[in-house]
Structure 1
């Protein structure tokens, strides 16, 4: 027996459904089209679309520079060019490299990590709004869109991490047991970035102008995350209010950057890390990942309207 669906949620929002129709739909097992599923069911639906998420992310990554002559090489060249610019401005002109051992490894590690976090947040802002046609045409868990954006950027990060290791070896870093800490740091970063992307996806779906503000927000966040300069060194020399010092040290981007530097750079010691750094890193990942997912799920039935 073929089942039907009740009117869409958009139509239901426009006019109330008469009680007799509601009773008739319940008798015949009809459900509201586009209604938000329960959280466990939503998780199951998302897991069922996992192959779509990874395939969609891979296709977007391969198509990103398909018209450029260097092709996928730009995934590596772009953060390296950013690092070169930052080195000239901050390391040479502004002398941020003073009293920072292994400044080049310090800088390129920070740039590679920040590029993933900042790009994930920025991509999440446009994930739903820029795919309105897909959202309106097909029924699927909308969280697939911001998550696929983060998966795409994570795939790029894994490629650039290989190049980062080569660069670190070239600048005198030696493999050590601490390098195994890269794996849990990457996982925590990915969960945190995915949560932030889902938060921004919901906000950006209703307020597209937010995407115009994000470059300014992300630039401010980057400068306060110690990408080009040492937060620990600055706190030793400058007398800042306690709340400012605490905010800088517990800044989630700075926490993940510092963990990656601690894992890969010989001269970056545990004294440069904030207190209880691993609980802080796990806490940020859970807060953003779980909280961001629930926040996005709450508006599931609203995406694609208007």
Structure 2
């Protein structure tokens, strides 16, 4: 009797767990019930379709950011024109007067202001694109939308701001005696090509900035170096004529520099004294090539990492 009381009850072993279904069966089950991977990257045509469907959001977001940019300043939207004008005044004093880069360049003030305005468009688009994802993580994590809408909207914001600057540029050109000419129409395709180029670079930098936010701290130094090589404050053709001993690769790199190409095209379109002889050979082909390379390549590069934005 005592032995029976101290005998432990027999253990009942649990039945073996059924084997896990293979991944193929799980995928078939999910497809049967209309389930899809959360945050999966859509195909490229579908991604473009989704972006087009949100074109009104892109435009409204760009306009709202532009309006809010100077909302706390007393002069408000006037700073959209004052900022590049003040930069041009500083560059005129330092480079035009102190360093003498204005010598040999007719209509130097229209020449300089055009370069500053066009360069500012590229610089601001790239800087805004660098922070497009990393600076809007709350929006990225809260809502589902094609992430390319953000760098595109920031590039559109900078284009809208450029339109204010271009209005001021027209006034400056007329005040300094530059006549209205049929060549001004060429500014339209030049700005379209530059806008495509800027948007593509903004998308490249948005992906890089999303993974490595420290790039935003490095970009001002990179862009400042690029500006000095882009003929913003001086004429590249005039400089090359003075330095005929430069290696051929240096002159080729300066002429093919995309920022310099778009600046020179705008100067050729707007300034009567800037002649075709000052443009690099095949300038429109170079401008189109840069726009396609950056625009298409940047879009695909950004799309490839669509499912990674906002994670981590």
Shorter-chain TM band: over 0.9
Q: What residue ranges of structure 1 are gaps of 5+ in the alignment?
A: 1-16
Matched, 1:242 2:248: yes
Matched, 1:279 2:279: no
- Partners of 1:67 and 1:131 in 2: CA distance: 20
Matched, 1:293 2:299: yes
Tell me which of 124, 130, 139 is aligned to 2:135. 130
Partner of 1:181: 186
What is the correspondence of 1:4-153 to structure 2 with a 5 Å cutoff? 18-153=23-158
- Partners of 2:24 and 2:263 in 1: CA distance: 57
Bigger Rg, which one:
2
Tell me which of 301, 304, 309 is aligned to 1:303. 309
Partner of 1:203: 208
Q: What residue ranges of structure 2 are gaps of 5+ in the alignment?
A: 1-21
Matched, 1:257 2:263: yes
- Partners of 1:245 and 1:121 in 2: CA distance: 25
Aligned length: 290
- Partners of 2:293 and 2:28 in 1: CA distance: 41
Deviation readout 1:129-176 (Å, 9 max, x if unpaired): 111111111110000000000000100101110110010000110011
* RMSD of aligned Cα (Å): 0.9
Kindly state the Cα deviation for residue 231 of structure 1 after the two structures are TM-superposed: 0.5
Determine helix, strand or coil for the equivalent of 1:142.
coil
TM-score, scaled relative to structure 2: 0.92
Tell me which of 263, 269, 273 is aligned to 1:267. 273
Kindly state the Cα deviation for residue 22 of structure 1 after the two structures are TM-superposed: 1.9
- Partners of 2:130 and 2:275 in 1: CA distance: 36
Kindly state the Cα deviation for residue 23 of structure 1 after the two structures are TM-superposed: 2.2
TM-score, scaled relative to structure 1: 0.94
Kindly state the Cα deviation for residue 121 of structure 1 after the two structures are TM-superposed: 0.6
- Partners of 1:287 and 1:254 in 2: CA distance: 16
- Partners of 1:35 and 1:26 in 2: CA distance: 14
- Partners of 1:265 and 1:274 in 2: CA distance: 17
Kindly state the Cα deviation for residue 19 of structure 1 after the two structures are TM-superposed: 4.1
- Partners of 1:67 and 1:271 in 2: CA distance: 46
